[in-house]
Structure 1
Amino acid sequence: MKILHISDLHFPKKLSLFSLRGKAIVGYLSYRLRRKSKHPLVLISAMVEAISKLEYDALVISGDLTNVSHPGEFENAKEILKPLLTDKTFLIPGNHDRYQKRAIGPNPLFEKTFSEWMGTSLDPNLYIRSKKIAGKVFIGWDSNFAIPRITANGYVAPEVITKTVQSIEEPYILVCHHPLWNPKSEIESRGHRMLNRAEVIDKLKANPPQLYLHGHTHTNWVKLPGVRAPFPIVNSASSTRLSDRSHECGFHIIEVGKPIQYRRFIYSEDQFIETNPIFYEESEGVI
């Protein structure tokens, strides 16, 4: 099976400041002044075009389709992704898709817009989504929560982990927005990391996934199986960002077999081209 993994798309959308509330005003101004130029429209168009021409069995999007979870941003993201949204697509929200409390309930904007491609719920009280694509089970978690402060922490409740490892009886791919591991050169701040990722990894050992796919940190890597986390951890963020000295951006195609094979694509000279994946041993980073 070939899995094409993209993440942290942060599609640009011009918004009126009068339509924003609370921290969304600060977040949107930060995006317009600091990050908008890093996600040019020409790169976004090139990504959609490149993916449309590639062969894959499943397309996984691991969150952050928007910037401040404004209703207009969700419709904009859906329109841009329209050529890629098929029965082969599976997606989950990122922290920017949960940026405001009004994006979560009682009618969550992410679910309202993308429910057709989110799979089915395994528990009415927990966010555990499941979708089978080409015979492979994909499990999605929501590690995000909207809080008033300008932070980007993640958290996965213990009951979500327990329910997952106890109820899945076949090999599965786990998709979640926040990393479980970072290279030593990419250690996250206290306000950016998943708060209980050591607990997540320890509980997953009872029934580990074949792959853990995530985003959040805007540079690509593949962490190979190790002693603490006996499964690969793959970061395809940001797939729509220009690379620079601090960010190796792009996306992956992962062929699940024995062994698992990885291909990486980056934006260069107005198109996406294939290049070498970035591999790390578990000892080269931190949980």
Structure 2
Amino acid sequence: MKILHISDLHFPKKLSLFSLRGKAIVGYLNYHVRRRTKHPVVLIAAMVDTIKSLEYDALVISGDLTNVSHPSEFQNAKDVLKPILTDKTFLIPGNHDRYQKRAMGPNPLFENAFAEWMGDSLSPNHYLRTKRIAGKLFVGWDSNLAIPRITANGYVAKEVVEKTVKISEEPYVLVGHHPLWNPNSEIESSSHRMSNRKEVVEGLLTNPPELYLHGHTHTNWVKLPGKETPFTIVNSASSTRLSDSKHECGFHLIELGKQTHYRRFIYSENKFTETNPILYEETEGVV
């Protein structure tokens, strides 16, 4: 099976400051001044065109389609992704898609825009969704917290982990936004990481996923199975960002089989080309 994984798309959308509230004002100014040029429109178009040309069985998008979860950003993201949104697609929200509490509420904006590709909900009280694509079971989490402070912490409730490991005895692919492991060179700050990820990893051990796909930290990597996390962890963030000295960006095409192969694509010279994946052993980082 071939799984194409993209994340942290942060599609640009010009917004009026008068339409923003609270921390969204600071977040938008930060994006507009510091990060907007890192996500050029030409790169985004090249990513969509490249995906259309590749052969894959499932397309996974692990969150952050927007920047400050403004209502118009969701429609913009949907319009950009339209050529590749099919029954092969499975996606979850990132912290920027839950940036404001008004993006959640009784009519959550992410769900309103992308319900068709989010799979089926298994819990009335928690975000836990599944979708079967080409015979493979995909499980989605929402690890994001909509809080007023300028932080990006994550959290997954114990009940969600317990229900996840009981869904099926067959191999499954788990999709979340926050990392469960970081290489030593990419340790997250206390205001950016999933606050209970050690407990989450321990809870998964009774029936671990075949793969955990995530984003959030804008540097690509593949963490191979180890003793503490006996499953592969793949980070494809940010798929729409220009690489620089601190960020190795792009996306992955994962070929599952008796031997799993990891193909990585990066933007260079106005197009996406295949390059070597960045592989880590578990001992080269921390949960």
Query: CA offset at residue 258 of structure 1?
Result: 1.6
Can you give the 5+ residue segments of structure 2 that lack an aligned partner in the other structure? none
Q: Give 1:126 shift.
A: 1.5
**Within 5 Å, which residues of 2 pair with 1:101-250?**
101-250=101-250
Shift of 1:169: 2.6
Which residue matches 1:264?
A: 264
Residue identity over aligned pairs, in percent, reads: 77
- Secondary structure class of the residue paired with 1:203: helix
Q: Structure 1 counterpart of 2:112, which letter?
A: K
Deviation by residue 1:142-197 (Cα, 9 ceiling, x = unmatched): 00010000000000000000011012232100000000000000000000000011
Please say if 1:78 is aligned against 2:43: no
Counterparts of 1:259 and 1:175, CA distance in 2: 21
Alignment-derived partner of residue 97 in structure 2: 97
SS in 2 for 1:3: strand
- Hey, what does 2:7 align to over in structure 1? 7
Q: Distance in 1 between matches of 2:238 and 2:226?
A: 25
Q: Partners of 1:256 and 1:205 in 2: how far apart?
A: 21
Q: For residue 201 of structure 1, report the CA deviation from its aligned partner.
A: 0.6
* TM-score (norm. length: structure 2): 0.99
C-alpha RMSD over aligned residues: 0.5
Question: Cα deviation per residue 1:200-236 (whole Å; 9 max; x = unaligned)?
Answer: 1111000000000000000000000000000000000
Task: Output the CA distance in 2 between the equivalents of 1:26 and 1:168.
Answer: 43
Counterpart in 2 of 1:274? 274
Give 5+ residue unaligned stretches, structure 1.
none
Q: Write the distance in 2 (CA, Å) between the matches of 1:167 and 1:87.
A: 21
Q: Separation in 1 of the partners of 2:79 and 2:13?
A: 12
C-alpha distance in 2, partners of 1:105/1:248?
35
Code of the residue aligned with 1:137 in structure 2: it is L
Counterpart of 1:238 in structure 2: which amino acid? S
CA–CA distance in structure 1, aligned partners of residues 171 and 286 of structure 2 = 26
